[in-house]
């Protein structure tokens, strides 16, 4: 391909609305252009990258025994009603009606559709196991799309679904997919960590995410999730699923008696602890949330933080947020109190479900809100001054240096970008949708299902996050839009142009994906564009050609050597 013909426009400046480097560089280098919020045009360079990622995914999925199909992007509400998700999925589900008033949605995922295919096409255990996958655009109406391709509303995804006769079969399918994922991301030039995670709206009993770990010290890193991991035993989990053993801290407030005392202007745990001259660990924090429109309260030790996904899962919810001040005022009024946030507690509240985090069980003589502004109850004890809720669960966020539940070592934390996930769905969809097969004993059984997703566009963006410098992108060779770019320094120099064209044509004849920058531009513009676009190798034909030499640059390391055109061609052939 000739740069003079390539549909690409590089920009001098980063886009003003871009927050992370992959977004900044993909726009500036001419790979993507925004159409509307969270929706992007994939321009020719980007499309070549995406097709490379797709092909790697397709090859490894096929090698793992999966079969490709394609399902409709628009799905009828009836299927979602069968599974029970139509009313609970949330606002991310883009709903619409056709001209006849029939409700439909744009597919954010395809569990319902694939389950309907299986119940119609698989009758006997003899047809199992089966793994079906597709590569297709999805749409999720994210409340706050950001980070370019990392969290858009429309995106390209590979989703696969396995059907087995029993849990042992699912375990095997799950491991086959996990191994296929490891190969896929390795071939894409990405080092990933497989971590335990929350199943979210997909559901199921077990799930893992494949995370690309990012450099936390890098400016504007795109890490969306905290990943907690143990360097000794290998335990790792997303923050919304991680568990740990707590370090020992003071949990006895040592107050001599239970009494309500004045604690003016102590709106935060830090202010209260400083006022009372006690550690935060002897304070019971009371927080009100709204889960699926219902009020809930979480009690947690003052030195710890609520993990909202864990809390939401306790109540089998699909949406969670912290309660607003006016909502807290409403709860107080209904219960006959007038306390403001900072002074609320569980005692005497009406129309609210309460859960206690495991951290509060061991508290003695502790401090807790008493629903009176500027006052707290000190010296409280469970069962005497305050009732311990019957619902007790782990709803806390793990912190760095907590102890690993597997081996007791200190946990570490880093940021990660999710590029793939796998779920053990079990019978969540097959039971609800009456999708069954006949087993070897002639009994009707629901399929045991698994679900496996890879973000194609997210994988490409994650590669940019991991492989770039101040000059531009450094594409891994396997997913780069072109392998090599040839840059004649001057299009007016006949010798330079002749040698450049000769190298170009020879590489084309060898099947190499090659660009030649034949534009009438200054050498500096060409060289900067080559680095910005991120082509893995560059052959520069300049003044040294009079000595029979060209410059060969490896973009990944920025190493430059001077060699003959013939040797440059050989090096590219060896790479290919």
Please indicate, yes or no, if residue 183 is contained in any of the structural domains: yes
Q: Give me the half-sphere count of Cα atoms (radius 13 Å) on the Cβ side of residue 430.
A: 26
State the CATH number of the domain containing residue 75.
3.30.930.10
Place of tokens 């290998």: 234
Task: State the pairing for strand pair 514-516/484-488.
Answer: parallel
In which element (H, E) is residue 541 found?
A: strand 537-541
Please indicate, yes or no, if residue 406 is contained in any of the structural domains: no
How many independent structural domains does the chain possess? 3
State the CATH number of the domain containing residue 486.
3.40.50.800
CB crowding 278-305: b at 16 or more within 10 Å, else e: bebbbbbbbbbbbbeeebbbbbbbbbbe
First to last CA, the chain: 17
Please indicate, yes or no, if residue 507 is contained in any of the structural domains: yes
pLDDT tens per residue, the chain (576 residues)?
999 999 999 998 998 888 899 999 999 999 999 999 999 999 999 999 999 999 999 999 999 999 999 999 999 999 999 999 998 887 899 999 999 999 999 999 999 999 999 999 999 999 999 999 999 999 999 888 888 999 899 999 999 999 999 999 999 999 999 999 999 999 999 999 999 887 665 555 688 999 998 765 555 556 677 899 999 998 998 888 899 999 999 999 999 999 999 999 999 999 999 999 999 999 999 999 999 999 999 999 999 999 999 999 999 888 899 999 999 999 999 999 989 999 999 999 999 999 999 999 999 999 999 999 999 999 999 999 999 999 999 999 999 999 999 999 999 998 899 999 999 999 999 999 999 999 999 999 999 999 999 999 999 999 999 999 999 999 999 999 999 999 999 989 999 999 999 999 999 999 999 999 999 999 999 999 999 999 999 999 999 999 999 999 999 999 999 999 999 999 999 986
Contact 496, 504 (CB under 8 A): no
To the nearest 10 degrees (0 to 180), the angle between helices 167-187 and 44-63 is 140
111 phi and psi angles, rounded to 5 deg: -60, -45
* Token duo for residue 437: 């097969």
* Token duo for residue 288: 């009100």
Please indicate, yes or no, if residue 9 is contained in any of the structural domains: no
User: 364, 393, 422: which is the final residue of a domain?
Assistant: 393
Range of the domain at 124: 45-242+413-466
366 phi and psi angles, rounded to 5 deg: -95, 180
Does residue 546 share a domain with residue 445? no
* Token duo for residue 517: 């920058």
Does residue 269 share a domain with residue 194? no
Please indicate, yes or no, if residue 290 is contained in any of the structural domains: yes
Query: In angstroms, rounded to a whole number, what is the distance separating the alpha carbons of residues 329 and 320?
Result: 19
């Amino acid at each position: 391909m000739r740069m003079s013909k390539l549909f690409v426009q590089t920009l001098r400046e980063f886009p003003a609305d871009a927050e992370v480097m992959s977004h900044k560089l993909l726009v500036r280098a001419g790979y993507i252009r925004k159409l509307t919020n969270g929706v992007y045009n994939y321009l020719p360079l980007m499309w070549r990258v995406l097709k490379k990622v797709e092909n790697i995914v397709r090859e490894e999925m096929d090698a793992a025994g999966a079969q490709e199909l394609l399902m409709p992007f628009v799905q009828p509400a009836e299927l979602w009603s069968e599974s029970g998700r139509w009313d609970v999925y949330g606002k991310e589900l883009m709903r619409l009606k056709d001209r006849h008033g029939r409700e439909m949605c744009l597919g954010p995922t395809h569990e319902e559709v694939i389950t309907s295919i299986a119940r119609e096409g698989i009758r006997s255990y003899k047809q199992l196991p089966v793994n079906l996958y597709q590569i297709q655009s999805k749409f999720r109406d994210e409340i706050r799309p950001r980070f370019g391709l990392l969290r858009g509303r429309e995106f390209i995804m590979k989703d696969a679904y396995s059907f087995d006769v029993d849990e042992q079969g699912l375990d095997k399918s799950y491991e086959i997919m996990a191994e296929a994922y490891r190969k896929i991301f390795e071939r894409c030039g990405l080092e990933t960590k497989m971590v335990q995670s929350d199943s979210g709206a997909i559901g199921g009993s077990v799930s893992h995410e494949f995370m690309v770990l990012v450099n936390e010290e890098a400016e504007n890193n795109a890490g969306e999730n905290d990943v907690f991991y143990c360097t000794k035993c290998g335990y790792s989990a997303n923050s919304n699923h991680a568990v740990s053993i707590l370090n020992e801290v003071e949990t006895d407030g040592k107050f001599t008696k239970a009494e309500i005392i004045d604690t003016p202007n102590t709106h935060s745990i830090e202010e209260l602890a400083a006022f009372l001259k006690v550690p935060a660990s002897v304070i019971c924090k009371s927080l009100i949330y709204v889960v699926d429109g219902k009020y809930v309260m979480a009690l947690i030790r003052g030195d710890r933080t609520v993990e909202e996904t864990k809390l939401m899962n306790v109540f089998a919810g699909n949406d969670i947020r912290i309660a607003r001040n006016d909502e807290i005022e409403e709860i107080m009024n209904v219960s006959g109190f007038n306390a403001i946030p900072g002074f609320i507690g569980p005692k005497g509240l009406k129309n609210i479900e309460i859960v206690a985090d495991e951290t509060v069980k061991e508290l003695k003589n502790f401090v807790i809100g008493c629903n009176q502004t500027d006052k707290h109850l000190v010296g409280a004890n469970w069962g005497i001054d305050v009732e311990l809720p019957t619902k007790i669960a782990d709803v806390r966020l793990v912190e760095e240096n907590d102890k690993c539940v597997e081996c007791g070592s200190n946990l570490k934390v880093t940021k990660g970008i999710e590029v793939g996930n796998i779920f053990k769905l079990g019978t969540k969809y097959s039971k609800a949708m009456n999708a069954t097969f006949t087993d070897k004993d002639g009994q009707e059984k629901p399929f045991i299902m698994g679900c496996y997703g890879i973000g194609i566009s997210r994988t490409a963006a994650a590669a940019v996050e991991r492989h770039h410098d101040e000059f531009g992108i450094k594409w891994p060779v396997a997913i780069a839009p072109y392998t090599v770019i040839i840059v004649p320094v001057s299009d007016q120099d006949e010798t330079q142009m002749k040698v450049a064209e000769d190298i170009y044509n020879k590489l084309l004849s060898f099947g190499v994906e090659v660009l030649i920058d034949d534009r009438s531009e200054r050498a500096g513009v060409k060289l900067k564009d080559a680095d910005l676009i991120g082509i893995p190798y560059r052959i520069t034909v300049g003044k040294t050609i009079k000595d029979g030499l060209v410059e060969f640059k490896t973009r990944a390391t920025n190493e430059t050597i001077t060699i003959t055109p013939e040797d440059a061609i050989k090096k590219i052939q060896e790479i290919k």
